[in-house]
Structure 1
Amino acid sequence: MRVDCCFYTRKWKCFVLPLLICILLYYTNYKLNHRKRMSFTTSHSANKASPVFEVEATTSLKNKYTSEISKKLLSSPQESSLPSEKNAKCMRRKNIVFLKTHKTASSAVQNILLRYGTHYNLTFAMPNNKHDFGFPGAFKPGTVHDLKGKEKFNILCHHMRYNHDTVRDVMPGDSFYFSIIREPGSLFESTFDYLWQLVPAFKRVKHGESPEKWLDNAQEFFETSPRGSYWFFAKNPTAYDFGYDSMNQNQSFIEEMIKEIEQRFELILIADHYQESMVLLSNALCWSIEEVACLSLNSRKRDKIDLEVKARVRQKARAWNKADAALFDHFNATLWKKIEAYGYDRMRRKVNSLQQANENLAELCIDGGKAVDSSKLKDAQMKQNFYKPAGVSVGVYNLKKGAETNPLCRELVTPENAFTDVVFKRQYH
């Protein structure tokens, strides 16, 4: 009986051609993986050598993540659907310190914490004035309202100028410390507009003018203007919030500042990558994605800015705010390394889930499903508790009919001061 196959007929082409293809594929795959390992190792070594990273160092990671997302979005539903991931066992964190920085989407994060703590009947460290812990002064235990004999609190999340030692005197030893920061260019543009009335140096140009005009004369305006109570918002405001000398732009001082912050805070969120940041936060706290869903709060309605002007403002703002720029570059790079470690595909799925949860909240609660100008706010009680600087357009939400009696919906849109008052009364009355 004749068996007609390559093996028995010994046709050499049947062996050599497949073998060459296999060798070529193996070599190509090896080179790609080798380059990837070398690229990460080189980047990792460089980062360890100096704690201050340039923002461009994260470009490859962001491009890689964007590329992965694009591939999935363009694939068919059958290709992109994946089995539900198994969550590793973890313990929910209930003791939390959130350094609420200024103009960094921190109000949205605070709203999440207030809602979570209220739902689970946790105890908040509350400011005596129901707004901040003696800001712009450094945090002191005396600025915390007495809790009738209870020594420790679960959550601290109101504005303060951070002081590590005094915060530790108030909060439990196992507290989770985190904060949020923002790219210095967009941060300066937002601060300049929103806090123009409070900072004497800003008033050297008319409100509504481009911040570039101020930045072109920043040194002169800053040095020749009265200080006032909130002068520090004009230079390195994030470094000030973290408790450091915002006027010191010495490189060794900045590097030591970044090193200390990294040691003291378990996670620094990036407002410019808010969704990804919240996924990492939910993972670190062992909370569900739905528990970190929220609406954008206290955000300005922005005018369209020419891209070239925006690029110049960003460059000039970074040069003027050297400490804040270094702080952002470092923790932006750190965030993208955490995203890579978390997994790009896993991150994509979680971000999609978070966006869907946010949309569900808007559909459930918000009239029209989106924010409107503050001049169109309908709720009389909300108007009384809502703060907006003159001349600044801020987005607000009107609840849809029937949602006014839904506790979740009301908490979602309640301004910070009004929500704080509700929590204060719950704890002390």
Structure 2
Amino acid sequence: MAFPVYRTRRLFYLIVTAATVLYVLIMMEAPRHSNNRNWLYAKRRFVHKGSNIPGTGPMSPLDATTHEKHMLQDNHISGHQFNGEQTEDGKERSYAPPRETHSRYSNTTCSPRHNIAFLKVHKSGSTTVSNILQRYAVRNDLNLVLPDKLVGESGFNILGYGPLFSADMVIPVPEGQTFNILCNHMVYNRPVMDQFMPANTFYVAIVRSLEERFMSAMNYFGQVGFIMEEKKGVRGFTLKDVMPHFFINQTVRGINKESLINSIAYDFGFATYRDNEEYFQSYLKNIDKEFDFVMIMEYFDESLVLLRRRLCWGLRDILYIKRNTYEHNSLPLTEEDRHKLYESQKRDHRIYQHFYRKFWRGILAEGHDIFDEVANFKLVQKQVFDFCRGDRIQRKVLNIPSSKWNDEFRLTRSECRQMQMSELMLVEKVMDRARQRLRRDGTEKQWLKYVENFWQRNKMRIRNFETSDEMFYLSKTNAI
């Protein structure tokens, strides 16, 4: 029996109305589930009874390689505040942030920090951070601490390692000026750094989880290739056999052992010959006190946003395009290999654990607003990446609209080129910039003395150059 037309229409309208009401009810409840940061971390196995909440509780080696891979870049991360962090005594600490925004971090309410020392830890995303700092120095007419070496010589981008490095091994600044930013490779040596960095310098570093950093270093420093070449005549020897073979005696070839084994501890200045618990605890306590902030590579964007707030910078100041990254061979680890890795590099793992927990305590103390800012930052980063890698003819300027966390600004192709420069090319250009500034703004006596000292140190390699311009590779075409 067929329904009359008017009844069919009435039934249709009834269904549409019911569906609309249901949708509205779901959307009203959505913030309690889909967008709730607490819910998101629970989904990621961060928040539930017996688990490791970021920033608290012990982490086993297995935990350190499982949860760190759960990046939040593909998630919508706005929502309610993240409450319920547990302290070591098992009690719950509440982080209920105030409702006001973080406009207090804008340049209208605080002054940007210009004096910054960055510890460039190997294979931890440090080249990208250095690029950010070097561009900031150029944009704000600041002085960089740079090695006083011949451009192009091996290791010309390295300030120095160990006790051999001293303050007279850097390009001097004109009389009456001070250094502002240090971000080239060097082992942390606070007494030496204090000789040329101002008293109010902000000290920052970056660390990476043990397994991820170790695998990257094994490939980057050619150890995988050495082992595969050594075993190329052995039938059935594949990549999965590389790590068991390495852990037999942990032989390192072509590089210092510290570049691979406990390299985070080495870069932080730990004495590798002292391996007792009392010394380790004492030194870790000292660097915790001396560093104002330590970034976590696995949470790179979150780290940059928190750094921006600590330095009172703008969003534009932390834009980046990843540098010195590459695809490397995946090296499977057996449980036995993993145990040997953590046993042989306890110091690196414990340093990472310490600053990982401290980082999350800092994030949680900011309140839910920081996750909204990170989400906004990721959107801007996507626009910047597409613009810088896109058609150079069609679009010459990228307009970034204002938001709760930034003023409107324009990004040019010139800034894209600086973000995409290789590490060595950018270091070469800022070295030339520093020398030109010394010649332009320093006294004639200071410049002539500098040229003479440089000549005496390097005369065997630069005897064929007739002018200081040729000696330093100074030219207008090399200006940044």
Structure 2 counterpart of 1:320, which letter? S
- Describe the SS at the equivalent of 1:133: strand
- The aligned residue for residue 320 of structure 2 is 294
Paired with 2:193 and 2:250, the residues of 1 have a C-alpha distance of 35
2:435 matches 1:422:
no
AA at the equivalent of 2:414: P
* Residues 151/86 of structure 1: CA separation in 2 closer, same or farther (3 Å cut): closer
Quick check: 1:341 aligned with 2:365? yes
Residues 143 and 400 of structure 1: CA distance in aligned 2, closer, same or farther (over 3 Å) = farther
Cα deviation 1:150-208 (Å, max 9, x = unaligned): 563000110001111000011000000010011011111000100126998998777x9
Match of 1:29 in 2: none
Q: 1:60-209 maps to which residues of 2 (within 5 A)?
A: 72=78, 85-88=102-105, 89-129=109-149, 130-135=156-161, 139-150=165-176, 152-196=178-222
Q: What's the Cα RMSD here?
A: 4.0
Name the counterpart of 1:263.
Answer: 289
| Stretches of structure 1 lacking an aligned partner (at least 5 in a row) | 1-38, 75-81, 369-398
- What are the residue-to-residue correspondences of 1:373-412 with 2, within 5 Å? 406-412=413-419
SS at match of 2:428: helix
Q: Which residue is 2:374 aligned to?
A: 351
The verdict on how the C-alpha distance between 1:140 and 1:407 changes in structure 2, with shifts beyond 3 A counting, is same
How far is the alpha carbon of 1:230 from its aligned partner? Answer: 1.9
Tell me, yes or no, if the aligned pair for 1:182 and 1:271 is still in contact at 8 Å.
Answer: yes
Find the counterpart in structure 2 of residue 320 from structure 1: 344
Matched, 1:364 2:384: no
Q: Distance in 2 between matches of 1:187 and 1:204?
A: 24
8 Å CA contact 1:403, 1:409 repeated in 2: no
Amino acid at match of 1:364: F
- CA drift at 1:56: 8.8
From the superposition, tell whether residues 239 and 85 of structure 1 become closer, same or farther in structure 2 (CA, over 3 Å): closer
Question: Which structure's residues are more often helix, by fraction?
Answer: 1
Q: Tell me which residue corresponds to 2:247.
A: 218
User: What is the alpha-carbon distance in structure 1 between the residues aligned to residue 273 and residue 239 of structure 2?
Assistant: 24
Q: Is the 8 A contact 1:205 1:213 kept in 2?
A: no
What is the CA deviation profile of residues 390-420 of structure 1, one whole-angstrom value per residue up to 9, with x for unaligned ones?
xxxxxxxxx7777698210110101111111
SS in 2 for 1:87: helix
Map 1:223-302 → 2, pairs under 5 A: 230-302=256-328
Shift of the 221–311 alpha-carbon distance from structure 1 to 2, 3 Å rule, reads closer
Q: CA distance change for structure 1 residues 311 and 229 in 2, over 3 Å: closer, same or farther?
A: closer
- The normalised TM-score by structure 2 is 0.61
**Aligned-residue offset at 1:217:** 4.6
Checking the alignment, whether the CA contact within 8 Å between 1:123 and 1:155 is kept in structure 2 is yes
Aligned to 2:89: none
Summarize deviations over 1:50-92 as a string: whole Å, max 9, x none.
Answer: xx97689999x99xx97xx768479xxxxxxx98543253221
Q: Which runs of 5+ in 2 are unaligned?
A: 1-48, 81-98, 150-155, 398-411, 437-480
Hey, what's the Cα distance between the residues in 1 that align with 2:425 and 2:301? 26
> Which letter does structure 2 place at the counterpart of 1:323?
R
Q: 1:322 to 1:291 in 2, by over 3 A?
A: same
Name 1:385's counterpart in structure 2: none
Q: Secondary structure at the match of 2:103?
A: coil
TM score, norm. by length of structure 1: 0.68
Q: What CA deviation, in whole Å up to 9, does each residue of 1:307-330 have, x standing for no partner? A: xx4876554422221100010010
TM-superposition CA deviations, 1:196-242 (whole Å, max 9, x none) = 26998998777x964874466536233xx67x652212310111111
SS at match of 2:186: coil
Distance 1:139 1:56, change over 3 A: farther
Contact 2:239–2:331 (CA under 8 A) maintained in structure 1: no
CA contact (8 A) 1:101 1:238 kept: yes
Aligned AA for 2:249? E
**8 Å contact 1:185–1:313 — kept in the other structure?**
no
CA distance change for structure 1 residues 355 and 323 in 2, over 3 Å: closer, same or farther? same
Instruction: Please say if residues 216 and 328 of structure 2, whose CA atoms lie closer than 8 Å, have aligned partners that are also in contact.
Output: no
- 1:86 and 1:323 map into 2 onto residues whose CA distance is 39
Q: Specify which of 411, 416, 420 is matched with residue 413 of structure 1.
A: 420
Residue 305 and residue 53 in structure 1: after superposition, are their counterparts in 2 closer, same or farther (change >3 A)? closer
**Aligned equivalents of 2:241, 2:206: Cα separation in 1:** 25
Equivalent position amino acid for 2:386 in 1: E
SS in 1 for 2:278: helix
